[in-house]
Amino acid sequence: MKYTLPALLVFFLAACGSGDPGTASDLLSDSLLNRNEARISDKQVIEIITSIPNPVEMSSLLQKCGVIYSNDLLNPAGNISKYNTNYKKALNLGTYGTDLVHMNIFDRTTSSLEYLNNIKDLAGDLKVGQFFDHETLTRLSENSKNVDSILFITNSGFDRMSNFLQEQNRTSVSVLIGIGTWVESLYLATNIEKATNKDEVFNRIGEQKEVLDMIIIMLSAFADNEEFKDLMEDIRALKIIFDKVKISYTYAEPTMKEIDGVLVIVDNSTSSVAISEEIFNEISTKISAIRTKIIN
Amino acid sequence: MSEEILKALMQLFAIIAKQDVGTSMNEREFVHLFLMQQLSESSVKEYLALFDNKAGFDKDKKESIEPAGVQRKPRLTSVKDSVRTLGIAKKINKTLTQKQKAVVLVRLFELVNSDKNFTPQRMAIIDTVAEVFNITKEEYSSIQIFVTKDDPAEFDIPEIMVVAGDETTVSPTCKCIVSRDLDKNVLILRVSSVDLYFIRYTGSDVLYLNGLHLSSGRIYLFASGSVIKMSIGKPVFYTDIAAKFLADSSLLNIDFRVKDVGFTFPNGKIGLQSFSLAEFSGKLVGILGASGSGKTTLLNVLCGLDTPTHGEVTINGINLHKRKDLVKGVIGYIPQDDLLIEELTVFENLYFNAKLIFRNLTDEQIRERVLKVISNLGLIHAKGMKVGNPLDKKISGGQRKRLNIGLELLREPSILFVDEPTSGLSSRDSENVMELLRELTLRGKLIFAVIHQPSSDIFKMFDNVVIIDDGGFQIYYGNPVEAVMYFKDKDNQVNREIGECPTCGNVNPEMIFNIIEARIVDEYGQFTEKRKKTPPEWSEIFNSTGEADIRNGQANEYLPEPQKMPNRLKQFRIYFIRDLLTKLSNRQYLNLNLLISPVIAAVLAFILRYISDPESDTYLYRENDNITPYIFMAVIIALFLGLIVSAEEIYRDRKILKREAFLNLSRTSYLTSKISILFVISAIQALLFVIIGNSILEIRGMYFEYWLVFFSMAALANMLGLNISATFNSAVTIYILIPFLIIPQMVLAGALFSFDKINRFLGGGSENVPIIAEFMPSRWGFEALLVKQFVDNKYEQMPFNEEGITLYDLEKQISINDYKNVYYIPELKGIVEEYRFRKARNPEMKIPDSDLELLKNEFTREMKVTTQFNFGLMDQLYPGKYNTKVGDSVIAYCEALQEHYKAEFNKYYYIRDEMIASRLKDSAPKDEYYNLRDHYYNENLTAFAINKYAFKKLVRINNHFVQKIDPIFLDPQEISFLNYRTHFMAPRKYFLGRYFSTFSVNVFTIWLFTFLLYFTLYFETIKKSLRFLENTKPYIRKPFRFLGNQLSIGILVLFGKQKHRIKSGTDLTAKNGVDDEGSD
């Protein structure tokens, strides 16, 4: 099952995406979709996409925290037949990517080929198949035990794809992939009843408040698009819940430290997230609802 | 003669004798003599007593006890006697053959003649008898003349011939043979209805009939092969007499001459040394010899199957081997093996043969004729029986043989060659068969029969025999009875002048062979291997006797006109019906052939009916991963079924064909009838396969296309099968060939192995389908269905707008533009960029010529497709002319193109998305969409058709970029008027200046192959080339032979045991196999 590892990796790349902000506006430039008025610049979109956390990070965290893995949480592979529009395809390229990463991090690779295949199919349909080629997969499999390498490969892969899509005036595709990834990742993180160390997960979820803000800004670029409207509303509803999360930020002087003979600057500031079980459950419910819409 | 018959005869004799004047001494003496011939001394007395009793003869008185006596007035035949006569005659009628009856009648006349007492009463009784015996008035009167008259003037009737000492004594119109020094005439009567000859001699010279003394005044049966010898003068042979009688009959005259004919086998072995003979119509000629001496070889040369190495065979002066066309219809050939169609009845065998032969006859007439032949053959009771094969006998061996002859009989060829007509038959059956042949000669046929160990009766039936000794030497040619004497003479035996047994009339042909093959005894009294006289010695002796000089005769230039053959269409119909009936009557064959395709389809489809979701029980066509394999299998199965139905067809018919080769029949008719039947079978098989297979797999709406391809493939395979079955001479070879034909088709269909990944030597990995695969029908069939299934299913054909733009069209545009935009243009641009990069490091670097060539090639292509952009510096893309400016221009051109393709891509990309999204909005179109998608679109097929797992999206071949992804959306790139070649799975093909759908081009191509194979079949091209190979130098041939032998041995080992079991000990396989090796 050498493939599975690479496979996983592949996604994250999509998922973790640090995308370049495709030129949202370009996308729209196409008369048919009429999405040309971006409210933010391509550059901003790139930055935003990049800031969406890579699912590799989230899944590693979940594993560390003793979350129990369940296949039931994943988007069933058979659902692919339901994705007939580019909108759906892009979103679910994200969800499947996240799922693949997730199952690989947990070493549950039985069905990873199926997910890998779905990803290839969706990417092919979206005409971004070149980023899921043999070469990338090989590199991923070679680095399967090294989370950092995987992060690097996937992030850079996603970057390249986002750049490409921006060039092709199809930034919306990378935006949707990013959102799909993020939602799925969040969904997985909110189903952790049996975790041994819930606090860390709670914190991480709380931190998504900032990510969410950026996603909203990013989505605003596509406000005119029919398909995006629904999603936008859901995300906004989610934001209302997230607003209840308090993040406090304590500033401290950075210090210099010599590590292995190299001088580095250490950021001593800390932030703390306050998220109650109740809010967490609310988030969980909402994310689950959004995700259900996406995958069906 | 049975007791009963003898008694009946005695009574008849008595009744006649006692009429009128009563029984005379002479008459009694005649009866006595007659009985002496038939019976032993003691029985003679018994029967004579019976005669005396009935005739009222008192031997003591030596006078009639009739009180009326001589003095009495002749009185009328008593009613009692008349009734009794009738009763006796009828009784005889039931038991005796017509021949025997004729003999009885002659005897009755002889009885009366013994006393010359021809009273009306006596004649009345004989009349009655003749009438009951169904003897015609003419024959009756000729018998009467023959027996009773002595005046030569009275013999001027056609039935009587005279051997006269002085021809002036007979009337000039009378048939006559002159034999000087004969004191009185020898009379010969021919009873033509039964073909019997009687001989009567009244003179006092000493004559011998077959070495036995001929009593004056007595009447003898002059059997075929007989000879009359006089003390002085030339003997008179049966054949001379028969020839006289036949000479003036209206039958055709055939003058068949063989002059110094020799034959050498292709392997250099001498088959025949030098043969000469001359024969005429109405002769039955036997070819005798030890086994292996060359009898059949001689027959084959004489009938024209083999061409002699030297010498010539002429028929009425026409060279048989050089002018085959002229004499073809004159010759008939009956091989040793039965050439019957086993599945047909006796009647049908004859009927279809007759149909093929006679054009002018109506169906009614043909039936009549066939029935007549059947009754002549004595097969009336077996008429409706199936022939069966030797292992599953339906009719007896003798009946088979007779039927075999009957097939030729129908046509009545003037010369008939029969190979071992009696082999394997009981002596009774043998005799019946030979009598049948004998009868044919009466109708003017000239018959040559190879015979092994003939019985005395059969031996004597021949007019002439040719005796062959080991090594193909002609050691005798002439009268059969004479032959015995000849060899006895040459062996210096006693009694050499007696040819047949004086008492029983038997001739012992064995004796001839004993003499010929007699071996020297060594001093211990043991036979040595050495013969007393070797074949060349015998041959020399024979040549020195001068017998070999063939008689001179007037060569008749006139040839009988062969039967008018039905025209081709009619022949076709007859062949067709015959074949059809053959097949229909073979239940097993029929059932198997009709069942095989649906069963295979069911099994295959059932196995391949895959549900990908382990949780679900609902089958979805879309998700079935086995559609491509199914298409591939269907194509291969079509080939396979087509081959096995046809592979044995011609081979099985080859014997029948050998016979029919003499009929001048149309090969076209034969082949087309075969082909039509096979096509019908294949069409039905295709239909059953597709209905069952496609239904199980739920492949919708493509039944006709699948059927057409399946049928076309099977038809092609039929033709292929016919070709091999016409080429090879054993069933094992043919079946062993099937894998040889199928396996390359499997490998090179494009399904199992990608054309990109086969040996480059064969054309793998190039832009187009490898050349070798262009010759694989499987590739054309597979591609046809694959493309059809992908492009023309209802899902891909979902309309986008009113103008008929379909989903497929959109996807095609998306694919084309995406490829150009994402892979192709960047690669082009990369050429220059790469060069610049290198040049930066090494300023000396020149752009490679091949790169310039590539740019030139690709730009030329590109400018044809995208006309709105032009690359102006084409003339600078040459070595030496390239400079930075050109490089910039290349990049600029590429970028312009890329922009263009990007825009185009986005346009179609969104149109397609829009189209689908709009359908998904409302529930009705949404359901329809899903319905189409689930039932007409298949993921596995799509993955294959778009080459989803392609390692490289594009490759550089010969300074061209070749697209490797999405072949199903890629039109042929290099189009020209006559270039039919494309990459695999092109959606359409360009030929003769326009585009055709791949499906139609491919199906057309398959039929083109089929058509070509018809020609190779018609002209037997494969056979001829193989023969050519065989005739090449031995050192080339040897390895082939060796391989062939090894192969055969292997096959024997493999199949031998199996067949053994099936065929209960008859090792047919082994036998066949060995034969195959031997015959080349």
Digit-coded pLDDT (tens) for B321-361: 887 777 767 888 887 777 777 778 888 888 888 877 776 77
Q: Tell me how many domains chain A contains.
A: 1
Domain assignment of residue A151, yes or no: yes
A32 and chain B in contact, CB less than 8 A? yes
Digit-coded pLDDT (tens) for B873-888: 888 888 888 888 888 9
Strands B392-393 and B388-389: antiparallel
For residue B261, pLDDT beyond 90? no
ipTM field? 0.72
For residue B169, pLDDT beyond 50? yes
User: Nearest CA to CA, how far is B902 from chain A (Å)?
Assistant: 7
Q: Which of B906, B931, B934, B937 to mutate to probe the A interface, most A CBs <10 Å? A: B906
pLDDT for the residue B1062: 42
Please indicate whether, in this complex, the C-beta atoms of A30 and B907 are within 8 angstroms of each other.
yes
For residue B737, pLDDT beyond 60? yes
Within 8 A by CB and 6+ apart from B1062, the residues are none
- Range in B122-136, B159-173, B476-490, B945-959 with the lowest mean pLDDT: B159-173
Q: Which residues of A touch B906 (CB under 8 A)?
A: 30, 168-170
Domain assignment of residue A233, yes or no: yes
Domain assignment of residue A261, yes or no: no
Range of the domain at A66: 4-245+276-295
Helix or strand holding residue B314 (H, E): strand B310-315
Q: Which residues of B touch A30 (CB under 8 A)?
A: 906-907, 910
A88 and chain B in contact, CB less than 8 A? no
Nearest by CB: B818 against A32, A127, A134? A127
pLDDT for the residue B630: 94
Do residues B936 and B863 touch, judged by C-beta distance below 8 A? no
Strands B212-213 and B415-419: unpaired
pLDDT band for B233, please (50, 70, 90 cuts): low
DSSP annotation string for B479-538: -HHHHHHHHHHHTT-TTTT--S-TTT----HHHHHHHHT-EEE-TTS-EEEEESS-HHHH
A156 and chain B in contact, CB less than 8 A? no
Residue A22, helix vs strand vs coil: coil
Domain assignment of residue A265, yes or no: no
pLDDT for the residue B682: 93
Please indicate whether, in this complex, the C-beta atoms of B920 and A168 are within 8 angstroms of each other.
no
pLDDT band for B1016, please (50, 70, 90 cuts): very high
User: Nearest CA to CA, how far is A227 from chain B (Å)?
Assistant: 10
What residues in chain B have their Cβ under 8 A from chain A's Cβ atoms? Answer: 612-613, 622-623, 814, 818, 821-823, 902, 905-907, 909-911, 913-914, 916-917, 920, 929, 933-934, 939, 946, 948, 951, 953
Cα B219 from Cα B217, distance rounded (Å): 7
Domain assignment of residue A263, yes or no: no
- Enter the pTM of the model: 0.69
pLDDT for the residue B565: 64
Digit-coded pLDDT (tens) for A226-267: 778 888 888 888 888 888 888 777 777 777 777 777 777 777
pLDDT band for B707, please (50, 70, 90 cuts): very high
- Crossing angle, helix A112-125 and helix A86-105, to 10 degrees? 150
Domain assignment of residue A264, yes or no: no
Within 8 A by CB and 6+ apart from B612, the residues are A78, B620, B623, B624, B625
Q: Which of A86, A111, A169, A230 to mutate to probe the B interface, most B CBs <10 Å? A: A86
pLDDT for the residue A210: 83
Do residues B725 and B653 touch, judged by C-beta distance below 8 A? no
For residue B1020, pLDDT beyond 90? no
Quote the tokens at residue B1032.
């090449």
A102 and chain B in contact, CB less than 8 A? no
Q: Which residues of B touch A134 (CB under 8 A)?
A: 951
Quote the tokens at residue B318.
């026409």
Please indicate whether, in this complex, the C-beta atoms of B948 and A124 are within 8 angstroms of each other.
yes
For residue B65, pLDDT beyond 60? no
What's the rounded mean pLDDT across residues B436-448?
79
CA distance to A66, A116, A282, B782, per residue, from A69 (Å): 9, 19, 22, 46
Q: In chain A, whose CA is at the least distance from the CA of B614?
A: A78
Which of the two residues, B5 and B300, has the higher pLDDT score? B300
User: Nearest CA to CA, how far is A194 from chain B (Å)?
Assistant: 27
pLDDT for the residue B64: 45
Digit-coded pLDDT (tens) for B97-120: 777 788 888 888 887 777 777 777
Which of the two residues, B1005 and B386, has the higher pLDDT score? B1005
Instruction: State the 10-residue block means of pLDDT for chain A, 296 residues long.
Output: 44 42 36 45 73 82 84 87 88 89 79 81 85 71 68 78 83 88 90 77 84 85 80 88 82 76 74 81 89 89
For chain B, give the mean pLDDT.
Answer: 80
pLDDT band for B1022, please (50, 70, 90 cuts): confident
Domain assignment of residue A110, yes or no: yes
Do residues A251 and A269 touch, judged by C-beta distance below 8 A? yes
Q: In chain A, whose CA is at the least distance from the CA of B612?
A: A78
Quote the tokens at residue B688.
């059953």
For residue B446, pLDDT beyond 80? yes
Cα B645 from Cα B640, distance rounded (Å): 9
For residue B498, pLDDT beyond 70? no
- Range in B488-497, B664-673, B1068-1077 with the lowest mean pLDDT: B1068-1077
Nearest by CB: A32 against B821, B905, B910? B910
pLDDT band for B67, please (50, 70, 90 cuts): very low
Do residues A20 and A159 touch, judged by C-beta distance below 8 A? yes
Residue B988, strand partner residues: B997
Please indicate whether, in this complex, the C-beta atoms of A81 and B946 are within 8 angstroms of each other.
no
Nearest by CB: A130 against B822, B902, B946? B822
Domain assignment of residue A58, yes or no: yes
Residue B799, helix vs strand vs coil: strand
Cβ-count burial of B687 within 10 angstroms (0-12 exposed, 13-18 middle, 19+ buried)? middle
